[in-house]
Amino acid sequence: MSLYQIISGPMVWTSFLLFIAGTIFQIIKLYPFIKQSTTRLNAISYSSVNREKTTTANNKKIFTKKLFRHLPDFNSLIYKFAMLKYSLFGRYPLTIFVTTLFHLLLIFSPFMVLGHNILFESALGVSFPSLSSEFSTILTFIIILCCLYFLIRRLTVPLVKSITTSSDYIMLAIAAAPFLTGFMAHHQIFNYTVMLHLHILSGEIMLISIPFTKFIHMIYFIITRVVLMNNGLRIKELKI
């Protein structure tokens, strides 16, 4: 069995299995925390929110109407557009643009490369719509540029520098490696076989590291944003 056969055969399945098992394990691990915070929320909402709703809802409405009568309609599109500069996008337009682009491409572009789809077809009998070779090259190049932007930001901006640890650089390297090696293998910049081997290996390392390292924000992001952040917001509402 050659090296290529090992890393493109059993090792791929192992990494997929570890990724799925790790993801399930991490979600189960967080389950008591979710349950604890939602029960606490219920306890609060039954005691005071409902009472507040029934007794002071009308008064509050009249009060806010009187208080903000000189202000524009908060639900209007123009107002929302004007408020954009106070949003996260308005504050850090370039970073938000680069981050959004990077994360979308990081997740979706590997499924749209022709080479990957051929492997999917032969292994599972299912494939996704493929992009042309030139277009996927451009997308890969954009991802590498985004990674460079993050690296420069980490190295130069004092605010980011203050909380940067060595693990942040390792994470960035793990995220960039499959795209960089794939790009180099496709264009045969260095030795093709070496690059291909490195490409497969780095992809497997990235997949395994998702549930066990800081990449976990890929899974926990949904839970923290939907379950826990809403919880926090509702508690905030109570204080008003």
Residues at the contact surface with another protein, assessed by CB under 8 A? 30, 32-33, 36, 88, 91-92, 95-96, 99, 157-160, 162-165, 168, 214, 216-217, 220-221, 224-226, 228-229, 231-232, 236, 239
Closest to 34 in 3D by CA, of 174, 181, 226, 235: 226
Nearer to another protein, 184 or 206 (CB): 206
Nearer to another protein, 8 or 164 (CB): 164
The CA distance from 224 to 43, in Å, is 20
- State in angstroms the smallest separation of the CB of 10 from another protein: 29
Nearer to another protein, 67 or 94 (CB): 94
Burial of 210 (C-beta count, 10 Å sphere; 0-12/13-18/19+): buried
- State in angstroms the smallest separation of the CB of 45 from another protein: 17
Alpha-carbon dihedral 172, 118, 127, 20, rounded to 10 degrees = -40
- State in angstroms the smallest separation of the CB of 215 from another protein: 9
- State in angstroms the smallest separation of the CB of 30 from another protein: 6
Nearer to another protein, 19 or 183 (CB): 19
The single residue listed with the structure tokens 């996260």 is: 88
- State in angstroms the smallest separation of the CB of 231 from another protein: 8
- State in angstroms the smallest separation of the CB of 153 from another protein: 9
Burial 90-114 (b: 16+ CB within 10 A, else e): eeeeebeebeebbeebbeebbebbe
The CA distance from 108 to 113, in Å, is 10
| 8-state DSSP, 74 | T
Q: How many C-beta neighbours within 10 Å does residue 21 have? A: 11
Q: Are 170 and 150 in contact (CB under 8 A)?
A: no
Nearer to another protein, 61 or 80 (CB): 80
Nearer to another protein, 23 or 164 (CB): 164
- State in angstroms the smallest separation of the CB of 71 from another protein: 20
Q: Are 23 and 216 in contact (CB under 8 A)?
A: no
Q: Is 188 helix (H, G, I), strand (E, B) or coil?
A: coil
Nearer to another protein, 126 or 163 (CB): 163
Q: Are 172 and 150 in contact (CB under 8 A)?
A: yes
